A and B are shown apart, each in its own frame.
Chain A
Amino acid sequence: DAGVTQSPTHLIKTRGQQVTLRCSPISGHKSVSWYQQVLGQGPQFIFQYYEKEERGRGNFPDRFSARQFPNYSSELNVNALLLGDSALYLCASSPTGQGLVGGYTFGSGTRLTVV
Protein backbone atom coordinates (compact mmCIF):
# COMPACT_ATOMS: atom_id res chain seq x y z
CA ASP A 1 0.00 0.00 0.00
CA ALA A 2 1.14 3.50 -0.77
CA GLY A 3 1.99 5.69 2.17
CA VAL A 4 0.95 9.30 2.67
CA THR A 5 1.69 11.19 -0.54
CA GLN A 6 2.41 14.90 -0.60
CA SER A 7 2.89 17.12 -3.61
CA PRO A 8 4.86 18.97 -4.67
CA THR A 9 8.02 17.98 -2.80
CA HIS A 10 9.59 21.39 -3.19
CA LEU A 11 8.44 24.76 -4.42
CA ILE A 12 9.58 28.35 -4.42
CA LYS A 13 7.12 31.22 -4.24
CA THR A 14 7.37 34.99 -4.08
CA ARG A 15 6.06 37.08 -1.20
CA GLY A 16 2.38 37.91 -1.65
CA GLN A 17 1.64 34.88 -3.80
CA GLN A 18 -0.71 32.06 -2.96
CA VAL A 19 0.19 28.37 -2.71
CA THR A 20 -1.73 25.09 -2.59
CA LEU A 21 -0.21 21.96 -1.08
CA ARG A 22 -1.75 18.55 -1.57
CA CYS A 23 -1.94 15.39 0.51
CA SER A 24 -3.28 11.93 -0.23
CA PRO A 25 -3.77 9.80 2.88
CA ILE A 26 -3.25 6.10 3.18
CA SER A 27 -6.12 4.17 1.63
CA GLY A 28 -8.85 3.74 4.23
CA HIS A 29 -7.65 6.61 6.41
CA LYS A 30 -10.32 9.26 6.91
CA SER A 31 -8.38 11.87 8.86
CA VAL A 32 -5.71 14.26 7.67
CA SER A 33 -3.66 16.66 9.78
CA TRP A 34 -1.34 19.43 8.64
CA TYR A 35 1.77 20.61 10.48
CA GLN A 36 4.28 23.38 9.78
CA GLN A 37 7.91 22.68 10.64
CA VAL A 38 10.21 25.69 10.52
CA LEU A 39 13.89 24.82 10.16
CA GLY A 40 15.40 23.86 13.49
CA GLN A 41 12.07 23.55 15.29
CA GLY A 42 9.46 20.92 16.01
CA PRO A 43 6.25 20.81 13.99
CA GLN A 44 3.36 23.11 14.80
CA PHE A 45 -0.24 21.96 14.35
CA ILE A 46 -2.21 23.81 11.67
CA PHE A 47 -5.41 21.82 10.95
CA GLN A 48 -7.06 18.47 11.35
CA TYR A 49 -9.86 17.20 9.10
CA TYR A 50 -11.97 14.13 9.65
CA GLU A 51 -14.74 13.00 7.35
CA LYS A 52 -14.42 16.27 5.45
CA GLU A 53 -15.05 18.42 8.53
CA GLU A 54 -12.54 20.58 10.36
CA ARG A 55 -11.88 19.04 13.77
CA GLY A 56 -9.09 21.27 14.98
CA ARG A 57 -7.24 24.45 14.13
CA GLY A 58 -3.92 25.63 15.48
CA ASN A 59 -2.79 29.17 16.15
CA PHE A 60 -2.32 30.25 12.56
CA PRO A 61 -3.71 33.32 10.77
CA ASP A 62 -6.69 33.22 8.45
CA ARG A 63 -4.31 33.23 5.49
CA PHE A 64 -4.09 29.49 6.12
CA SER A 65 -7.04 27.39 5.04
CA ALA A 66 -7.64 23.76 4.18
CA ARG A 67 -10.26 21.38 2.97
CA GLN A 68 -10.80 17.66 2.64
CA PHE A 69 -12.38 16.05 -0.37
CA PRO A 70 -14.82 13.09 -0.61
CA ASN A 71 -11.88 10.77 -1.37
CA TYR A 72 -10.25 12.03 1.90
CA SER A 73 -7.40 13.79 0.15
CA SER A 74 -6.69 17.28 1.39
CA GLU A 75 -5.37 20.64 0.29
CA LEU A 76 -3.67 23.30 2.39
CA ASN A 77 -3.86 26.83 1.00
CA VAL A 78 -1.77 29.74 2.12
CA ASN A 79 -2.55 33.24 0.82
CA ALA A 80 -0.44 36.38 0.82
CA LEU A 81 2.76 34.48 1.51
CA LEU A 82 5.29 35.93 3.94
CA LEU A 83 8.97 35.09 4.26
CA GLY A 84 8.12 33.49 7.60
CA ASP A 85 5.90 30.92 5.88
CA SER A 86 9.04 29.22 4.56
CA ALA A 87 8.96 25.79 6.16
CA LEU A 88 8.43 22.08 5.69
CA TYR A 89 4.71 21.32 5.60
CA LEU A 90 3.89 17.85 6.85
CA CYS A 91 0.70 15.91 6.31
CA ALA A 92 -0.31 13.03 8.58
CA SER A 93 -3.14 10.57 8.09
CA SER A 94 -4.92 8.27 10.51
CA PRO A 95 -7.88 5.90 10.32
CA THR A 96 -9.97 7.99 12.70
CA GLY A 97 -9.91 11.47 14.12
CA GLN A 98 -8.05 10.44 17.23
CA GLY A 99 -5.09 8.81 15.63
CA LEU A 100 -5.42 5.48 17.44
CA VAL A 101 -2.81 6.11 20.11
CA GLY A 102 -0.37 7.85 17.86
CA GLY A 103 -1.36 5.97 14.73
CA TYR A 104 -0.46 8.91 12.58
CA THR A 105 1.48 8.18 9.42
CA PHE A 106 3.39 11.11 8.02
CA GLY A 107 4.30 12.00 4.49
CA SER A 108 7.72 13.32 3.51
CA GLY A 109 6.47 16.87 3.39
CA THR A 110 6.51 19.81 1.02
CA ARG A 111 9.44 22.19 1.38
CA LEU A 112 8.12 25.71 0.73
CA THR A 113 10.56 28.55 0.23
CA VAL A 114 9.22 32.10 0.05
CA VAL A 115 11.56 34.66 -1.51
Chain B
Amino acid sequence: AQTVTQSQPEMSVQEAETVTLSCTYDTSESDYYLFWYKQPPSRQMILVIRQEAYKQQNATENRFSVNFQKAAKSFSLKISDSQLGDAAMYFCAYRVRDSNYQLIWGAGTKLIIKP
Protein backbone atom coordinates (compact mmCIF):
# COMPACT_ATOMS: atom_id res chain seq x y z
CA ALA B 1 0.00 0.00 0.00
CA GLN B 2 1.15 3.52 -0.74
CA THR B 3 1.49 5.62 2.39
CA VAL B 4 2.89 8.99 3.37
CA THR B 5 4.17 9.62 6.89
CA GLN B 6 4.89 12.94 8.55
CA SER B 7 6.39 12.20 11.95
CA GLN B 8 6.37 15.76 13.31
CA PRO B 9 2.88 16.85 14.40
CA GLU B 10 4.20 20.31 15.25
CA MET B 11 7.36 22.33 14.67
CA SER B 12 8.32 25.81 15.77
CA VAL B 13 11.01 28.15 14.51
CA GLN B 14 12.19 31.63 15.23
CA GLU B 15 11.41 34.20 12.56
CA ALA B 16 14.24 34.48 10.00
CA GLU B 17 15.68 31.09 10.90
CA THR B 18 15.59 27.82 8.96
CA VAL B 19 13.34 24.85 9.63
CA THR B 20 13.09 21.40 8.05
CA LEU B 21 9.89 19.36 7.88
CA SER B 22 10.19 15.61 7.41
CA CYS B 23 8.24 13.27 5.15
CA THR B 24 8.71 9.61 4.29
CA TYR B 25 6.65 7.52 1.91
CA ASP B 26 6.22 3.93 0.93
CA THR B 27 5.67 2.80 -2.63
CA SER B 28 6.71 0.12 -5.07
CA GLU B 29 6.35 2.50 -8.02
CA SER B 30 9.40 4.02 -9.70
CA ASP B 31 7.80 7.00 -11.41
CA TYR B 32 5.81 9.39 -9.26
CA TYR B 33 5.44 12.94 -8.04
CA LEU B 34 5.91 14.35 -4.56
CA PHE B 35 4.46 17.59 -3.28
CA TRP B 36 4.40 19.89 -0.31
CA TYR B 37 1.18 21.80 0.22
CA LYS B 38 0.51 24.58 2.72
CA GLN B 39 -2.89 24.97 4.38
CA PRO B 40 -3.31 28.28 6.23
CA PRO B 41 -6.36 29.04 8.40
CA SER B 42 -8.20 30.03 5.21
CA ARG B 43 -8.31 26.24 4.58
CA GLN B 44 -7.25 26.42 0.93
CA MET B 45 -4.48 24.00 0.00
CA ILE B 46 -1.67 25.90 -1.69
CA LEU B 47 1.07 24.12 -3.62
CA VAL B 48 4.49 25.01 -2.21
CA ILE B 49 6.84 22.83 -4.20
CA ARG B 50 6.84 19.64 -6.28
CA GLN B 51 9.42 17.03 -7.23
CA GLU B 52 9.36 14.52 -10.06
CA ALA B 53 10.89 11.24 -8.96
CA TYR B 54 12.94 10.77 -12.12
CA LYS B 55 14.73 14.07 -11.54
CA GLN B 56 17.77 13.75 -9.30
CA GLN B 57 18.08 17.49 -8.76
CA ASN B 58 16.26 18.76 -5.72
CA ALA B 59 13.48 21.25 -6.44
CA THR B 60 13.79 24.83 -5.19
CA GLU B 61 11.22 27.63 -5.07
CA ASN B 62 12.63 30.82 -3.59
CA ARG B 63 12.97 30.19 0.19
CA PHE B 64 11.62 26.64 -0.11
CA SER B 65 13.73 23.66 -1.09
CA VAL B 66 13.49 19.92 -0.76
CA ASN B 67 15.90 17.12 0.05
CA PHE B 68 14.71 14.20 -2.05
CA GLN B 69 16.31 10.86 -1.20
CA LYS B 70 14.66 8.34 -3.53
CA ALA B 71 16.37 5.23 -2.17
CA ALA B 72 15.47 6.18 1.38
CA LYS B 73 11.96 7.28 0.29
CA SER B 74 12.43 10.56 2.06
CA PHE B 75 11.23 14.00 0.98
CA SER B 76 11.93 16.80 3.46
CA LEU B 77 11.05 20.47 3.08
CA LYS B 78 13.46 23.20 4.12
CA ILE B 79 12.15 26.71 4.70
CA SER B 80 14.85 29.36 4.88
CA ASP B 81 14.46 32.84 6.39
CA SER B 82 11.14 31.86 7.97
CA GLN B 83 8.45 34.52 7.88
CA LEU B 84 5.32 34.99 9.96
CA GLY B 85 3.24 34.26 6.87
CA ASP B 86 4.75 30.78 6.68
CA ALA B 87 2.75 29.71 9.73
CA ALA B 88 0.33 27.00 8.55
CA MET B 89 -0.24 23.26 8.32
CA TYR B 90 2.13 21.64 5.85
CA PHE B 91 1.16 18.45 4.07
CA CYS B 92 3.35 16.09 2.11
CA ALA B 93 1.57 14.31 -0.77
CA TYR B 94 2.37 11.68 -3.37
CA ARG B 95 0.94 10.67 -6.72
CA VAL B 96 1.87 7.94 -9.18
CA ARG B 97 2.79 9.49 -12.51
CA ASP B 98 0.37 7.92 -14.96
CA SER B 99 -1.99 5.29 -13.69
CA ASN B 100 -3.38 6.88 -10.59
CA TYR B 101 -5.05 10.23 -10.32
CA GLN B 102 -5.39 10.58 -6.59
CA LEU B 103 -3.09 12.38 -4.21
CA ILE B 104 -2.10 10.42 -1.10
CA TRP B 105 -1.46 12.68 1.87
CA GLY B 106 0.42 12.67 5.13
CA ALA B 107 -1.22 13.78 8.38
CA GLY B 108 0.43 17.18 8.30
CA THR B 109 2.85 19.22 10.38
CA LYS B 110 1.77 22.41 12.10
CA LEU B 111 4.45 25.06 11.67
CA ILE B 112 4.60 27.83 14.27
CA ILE B 113 6.71 30.92 13.63
CA LYS B 114 7.93 32.76 16.74
CA PRO B 115 8.39 36.52 16.27
Contacts and interface: CB of A to CB of B under 8 A. Distances in A.
B100 A43 contact: no
A107 interface: yes
B43 A55 contact: no
A26 interface: no
Contacts of B52: 101
A37 to B, nearest CB: 8
A56 B35 CA distance: 20
A43 B107 CA distance: 8
B80 to A, nearest CB: 22
B33 A107 contact: no
- Contact size range, B: 20 to 34
A98 B33 CA distance: 11
Interface residues of A, number: 26
Interface string A52-81: 000110100000000000000000000000
B50 A102 contact: yes
A42 B6 CA distance: 10
8 shortest A-B CB distances, which residue pairs?
A: A42-B105, A45-B102, A106-B45, A102-B50, A108-B44, A56-B101, A109-B43, A48-B101
Interface in A15-49: 33, 35, 40-45, 48
